[in-house]
Amino acid sequence: MARIFLHIGTNKTGTSAIQSFFSHNREQAREHGFLYPETACSGSAHYALSGLLGFNLNKHKRCAKRADDAEWRAIRESLDREIADTSPSAIMFSSENFVIGTPLEPVRDFFGKDDVRILAYLRRHDSWWAAAYSQAVKAVSLPPWGQGIEGFIRFRKKRAPQGINYRHLLDRWAAVFGREHLIVRPYEQQQNEPDIVVDVLRAIDLDMGLSLKTSDTAILDAICSKRRNESLSPHALHLMEMFQRARIATDMHVRLIGYAKSLPASGSRQSILSPLRRLQLIEENAADYAYIAKEYLGREDGRLFYDPLPDPDEPWEPLKPLAPPQIVEETVRALIGDWRDAKV
């Protein structure tokens, strides 16, 4: 019986890179007895599977299909054929939508008596909030939250408070699949050396010819390929949020957003959150971090994350809002400029 790994995210923890790697290396993985199924895969992730089991971003569609449903049977039969054709010793599914707080019993019922392991990556909240806000600004037109990252934080905390509670997330899965079946990894460069993909391979005990010292350049090139989900500079992020809030024609909106995405990244590594605010976000979750470190990683010192805490005295300046003339200039340049050819 193959061991099944269910990678549930969380989001903004390298999920796109992980999914892309396994999707583009399916054949190599099969040679090592590992299956990243094509069944129920939408793009590089298994969103069709998570959706089938009730994990849908649209809250009105969060209803799992029953075993007597035609779609449920079709996916189950397709998966069984794929497994029979490859006879893997391990299988992995990946969808960050599994963090949505819908019942987990459909997941347990779908996999039956299979040996299911839950893989979750966690990012320190001060870093996670900044990344989640940036992603939301890029993706959401006419955003429902108030202006800026603080408006976004207030909105998310009020709308889905459990969605950002790591302890609640892990304990929920542990209650159904057993704490010993959870694999919890902090998302930090120093704890994921040399790369997030290699860290996943370690976590699921898979040797795809790497053994962490291989000269297999094909795999290493895939790991070190162009960084996905590029971050926006604070200026571009501010500009894009203003563009996203504008009620304008679709073609004009697309051009404005494209322009904001094309702006060069800032050389500054300053967070959009002040050091004091970052410390506050960390402190809000400190007790949960200690609990997770002890209960799920066996770290008696209670340290989940190793990166240094923000220094409250470090130089930091809030982003200055764009003046009306600057907004006009940027908008005109986006609409009639030649920035696409110039690669601004």
Tokens representing 85?
A: 């054709």
Stated pTM of the model: 0.90
The reply to whether 116 falls in a domain is yes
The reply to whether 91 falls in a domain is yes
- Please state, for a pLDDT cut of 90, what percent of the chain lies above it: 75
pLDDT band at 196 (very low <50, low <70, confident <90, very high): very high
Do 219 and 239 sit in the same domain of this protein? Answer: no
pLDDT of 1 above 90: no
25-46 per-position pLDDT tens digit? 999 899 889 999 999 999 999 9
What pLDDT is recorded for position 76? 95
Do 85 and 214 sit in the same domain of this protein? Answer: yes
pLDDT of 210 above 60: no
Distance between CA 18 and CA 217 in Å, rounded?
Answer: 17
Do 201 and 284 sit in the same domain of this protein? Answer: no
The reply to whether 48 falls in a domain is yes
- Please state, for a pLDDT cut of 70, what percent of the chain lies above it: 89
What pLDDT is recorded for position 214? 39
Higher pLDDT, 160 or 221: 160
Give the angle subtended at the CA of 252 by the CAs of 247 and 256, to the nearest 5°. Answer: 90
The reply to whether 145 falls in a domain is no
The reply to whether 105 falls in a domain is yes
pLDDT of 164 above 90: no
93-110 per-position pLDDT tens digit? 999 999 999 999 999 999
What pLDDT is recorded for position 267? 58
The reply to whether 177 falls in a domain is no
Do 52 and 90 sit in the same domain of this protein? Answer: yes
What pLDDT is recorded for position 228? 45
pLDDT band at 58 (very low <50, low <70, confident <90, very high): confident
Do 219 and 242 sit in the same domain of this protein? Answer: no
What pLDDT is recorded for position 341? 59
Q: Which of 103-107, 221-225, 322-326 has the highest mean pLDDT?
A: 103-107
Quick one: average pLDDT of 172-182? 97
Do 101 and 203 sit in the same domain of this protein? Answer: yes
Do 205 and 286 sit in the same domain of this protein? Answer: no
Contacts of 283 (CB under 8 A, 6+ apart): none
What pLDDT is recorded for position 40? 96
Last residue of a domain, one of 223, 243, 278: 223
The reply to whether 149 falls in a domain is no
The reply to whether 59 falls in a domain is yes
Our measurement of the distance from residue 307's CA atom to the centroid of its chain's CA atoms, rounded to an integer in Å, reads 19
Do 95 and 10 sit in the same domain of this protein? Answer: yes
What pLDDT is recorded for position 113? 85
Contacts of 274 (CB under 8 A, 6+ apart): 316, 318
Work out how many domains the chain is built from and give that number.
2
pLDDT of 269 above 80: no
State the burial class of residue 108 (Cβ atoms within 10 Å of its Cβ: 0-12, 13-18, 19+): middle
Do 54 and 114 sit in the same domain of this protein? Answer: yes
What pLDDT is recorded for position 83? 95
Do 210 and 238 sit in the same domain of this protein? Answer: no
For residue 60, the enclosing domain spans 3-123+187-223
pLDDT band at 320 (very low <50, low <70, confident <90, very high): confident
pLDDT band at 221 (very low <50, low <70, confident <90, very high): low
What pLDDT is recorded for position 98? 97
Do 72 and 202 sit in the same domain of this protein? Answer: yes
Do 67 and 216 sit in the same domain of this protein? Answer: yes
Closest C-alpha among 187, 272, 222 to residue 11 = 187
Last residue of a domain, one of 165, 198, 223: 223
What pLDDT is recorded for position 268? 62
State the burial class of residue 318 (Cβ atoms within 10 Å of its Cβ: 0-12, 13-18, 19+): exposed
